[in-house]
Chains A and B, each alone.
Chain A
Amino acid sequence: MTDLLFTRVRLLDPASGLDRPGALLVRDGAILDFGGALGQPAGAEVIDGAGAVLCPGLVDLRAALGEPGFEYRETIDSAALAAAAGGITTIAVLPDSRPAIDDPALVQFLRARGDATGSLTLLPYGAVTRGCRGEALAEFGLLREAGAIAFSDGARAIGPASLMRRALSYARGFGARIVQHPEEPSLAADGAATEGELATRLGLPGIPACAEAIMVARDIHLAELTGGMVHFSRLSTAAALDLVRAAKSRGLPVTCDTAPPYFALNEMAIGEFRSYAKLSPPLRAEADRAAVAAALADGTIDAVVSDHQPRDADDKRLPFAEAAPGGAGLATLLAVTLAEVHGGRLSLTRAVALLTAAPAALFGIAAGRLQKGAPADLCLFHLDRAWRVVAGELPGKAQNTPFDGRALEGRVIGTWKAGRRVFG
């Protein structure tokens, strides 16, 4: 493998606070050196960044990839294309596939499938319950041993308080987090949109926004009771964020993430029954969207995840309440997050931290940093380059973006996995 030298890049490593113009040298797939100026080894391939940002490859803590079981929506290979185009080199994969990831062999299978792409590290979640059916606990110990990074039932909330209590308690023995879909299921049943004026006008069954805070409040109590670690994925309301903020200030092992739709869109994106804007949790009122954006900046939110949920046209071209919820998110993860930077609400370092070092640190993933000797998982992006999201023209198979038509600033121009260029 020839050496790879990035020159004239803006080196950005949130973990170490590094943000300076410079160069970075890759040898044998690992970062050999970086700094203000580096000598050019003979025969090195030179990438002239012309001022673009070079940061760690993005670490996405939440994506469904369609495989196994829903290959018509997305496969690991097609998701790998989308991820590479989005600058993502590590993905935590949800376990609610078909079959569910409730067996150690399936964890190993997914990790191997990721490695086989050559562009992506796949880190599977283990199921909290067998089949993600919400009944009997899965084998946390064996799943963890096989490489499950945390436990989740995917899009399904862990409903009964007694079950959540046991899951938190048992997972604690293995040092693993329980990742909750923060929505009280009995209030969310059959709902298609956030309860309120818009849902009332459209005649859509509503989910009260407090279904989120109710679940978050309960699980914070259960985390305190058991000493287990809970992580709330895709928080979308001010009330739930307030609860997490308060729990953190008390030192409880409570963390959370959100996804770009919840700080970049509000419920009005549904318009007249646009099913591509049907997500779970549903898009919220403007005040909640603003609260999510604020919580990115103040540290309440620990990570931004793609929440990639591939759907095909047949899943979506249905009357709104019957359409499958979920949006494609890999290719737009970085640029939609950067909109917060361009809007002056978030520093570039914090934005990139939320996509790299912070999620990696949450789950103890060895990625998300510019570190000498570490695999050269890198993302090179142009901070200001404008582009437009067009459903139908996204990389990968899934085209169900809630951001269709949106103009964005900030574009990935190259992605490297262990020193090998996988995009751009």
Chain B
Amino acid sequence: MADPPRHLLAIEGLQPPPLTALLDLAESYVLLNRSGQTARDLLRGRTLINLFFEDSTRTRTSFELAGKRLGADVINMAVASSSVNKGETLLDTAATLNAMHCDLLVVRHNQSGAPNLLAQKVDAAVINAGDGTHEHPTQALLDALTIRRRTGRIAGLVVAICGDIVHSRVARSNIHLLTTLGAQVRVVGPPTLIPAAIERLGVAVFHDMAEGLAGADVVMMLRLQRERMIGGLVPSAREYFRFWGLDAAKLARAAPAAIVMHPGPMNRGIEIDSLVADDPARSVIREQVEMGVAVRMAVLDTLARARPKLRND
């Protein structure tokens, strides 16, 4: 068997066994977390640094909680892009982190590939917490775990990922993960928000929401950022909501028990209607957040196990 991967930079390239193993481990952490217990011996003496070049309270908090529940020393470093402009490069930052003997480095960056670059230079195991429009692996894992717990499987499900696909790292990671585990993935959105050759990733492309949602078991909505409208990719919020926003009428085209997901934060009234987002029978958006902590515990645990202990304790 191959060596366990040192980093988690992308879902692309991972095979079903390690993905399933991560989901299974995460499942056990769901139970642990719900029982109110922790596993503070697992990462005791390990240092986890959350290095966020882009704001994200939600993801950072989730990693912070995951690290603490496993007993790691967690440090948050928010690096505004302005201080990077002061002349410190990403690689200067890497050198600093090496000097701090960081074990696990969680990186969020607005540039695709930034975690790959860091991973070449830091001693720590690097976890990509979202890089540009490339990947967001732990989001895809938490989405998969949520789906699996709700429906009991992933293989054979029809999953419609809707909205701004072109700028979405969440979409890319989910496409890789869900197709690898045997789901049928559709992407739905206006042509200006669908990236070139996306069908080569094994998905079907729909521009009509009703067609794209027909019979879907999972409806995954993506956030539409306001600057996309300024950039002229979509003329207006109201037009976007009319054609690609998820409301009850459009959701009625999906399978009767279809679940609704959103990686957050939501733009209510732009990509999703509040009635749908808050419908406890359909929306699993809050559960996604809970799964996020468990999945991140599984990732931290797995990568830490693959590393030699730096110190005795």
Contacts and interface: CB of A to CB of B under 8 A. Distances in A.
Contacts of B111: 318-322
A385 interface: no
B89 A319 contact: no
Contacts of A320: 111-113
Interface string A189-208: 00000011101111111101
B89 A200 contact: no
A201 B134 CA distance: 7
Contacts of A199: 195-196
Interface string B116-160: 110000000000000111110000000000000000000000000
Interface stretch (B57-65, B197-205, B222-230): B197-205
Interface of A: 195-197, 199-206, 208, 272-273, 314, 317-322
B196 A197 contact: yes
Contact of A319 (B132, B169, B172, B195): B132
B112 A202 contact: yes
Given A272-B113, A273-B113, A320-B112, A200 B132 contact: no
A398 B91 CA distance: 20
B132 A314 contact: no
A411 B135 CA distance: 43
A411 B250 CA distance: 66
A28 B31 CA distance: 89
B25 interface: no
A202 B9 CA distance: 12
Contacts of B131: 203, 319
A274 B203 CA distance: 27
Please give me the 5 A-B residue pairs with the lowest Cβ-Cβ distance, nearest first. A203-B134, A319-B111, A273-B113, A203-B133, A203-B112
B109 interface: yes
Given A202-B113, A319-B112, A321-B132, 4 more contacts: A200-B200, A273-B113, A273-B117, A321-B113
B247 interface: no
A226 B133 CA distance: 44
Interface string B98-123: 00000000000101111011000000
A203 B169 contact: yes
A201 B197 CA distance: 9
Q: How large is the interface on B (under 10, 10 to 19, 20 to 34, 35 or more residues)?
A: 20 to 34
Given A319-B111, A319-B132, A322-B111, A196 B197 contact: yes
B210 interface: no
A201 B89 contact: no
Contacts of B90: 317-319
A200 B113 contact: no
Contacts of B195: 199-200, 206
A320 B109 CA distance: 12
Nearest to A199: B196
A317 B91 contact: yes
Given A203-B169, A319-B132, A321-B111, A197 B197 contact: yes
B273 interface: no
Contacts of A319: 90, 109, 111-114, 117, 131-132
B116 A272 contact: yes
Nearest to B111: A319
B112 A321 contact: yes
B228 to A, nearest CB: 13
A68 B201 CA distance: 46
B290 interface: no
B12 interface: yes
A320 B112 CA distance: 7
A318 B112 contact: no
A270 to B, nearest CB: 10
**By CB atoms of chain B within 10 A, which of A197, A203, A204 has the most?**
A203
Contacts of A208: 196
Given A273-B112, A319-B90, A321-B111, A200 B117 contact: no
A199 B201 CA distance: 12
24 contacts: A195-B196, A197-B196, A197-B197, A199-B195, A200-B172, A200-B195, A200-B198, A200-B200, A200-B201, A202-B113, A202-B134, A203-B112, A203-B113, A203-B134, A203-B135, A204-B134, A273-B112, A318-B90, A319-B90, A319-B111, A319-B112, A320-B111, A321-B111, A321-B112
A203 B196 contact: no
A196 B197 CA distance: 5
Nearest to A314: B89
Given A319-B90, A319-B117, A206 B196 contact: yes
A208 B195 CA distance: 11
Contacts of A317: 89-91, 117
Contacts of B114: 319
**By CB atoms of chain A within 10 A, which of B90, B135, B196 has the most?**
B196
A273 B116 CA distance: 8
A200 B202 CA distance: 13
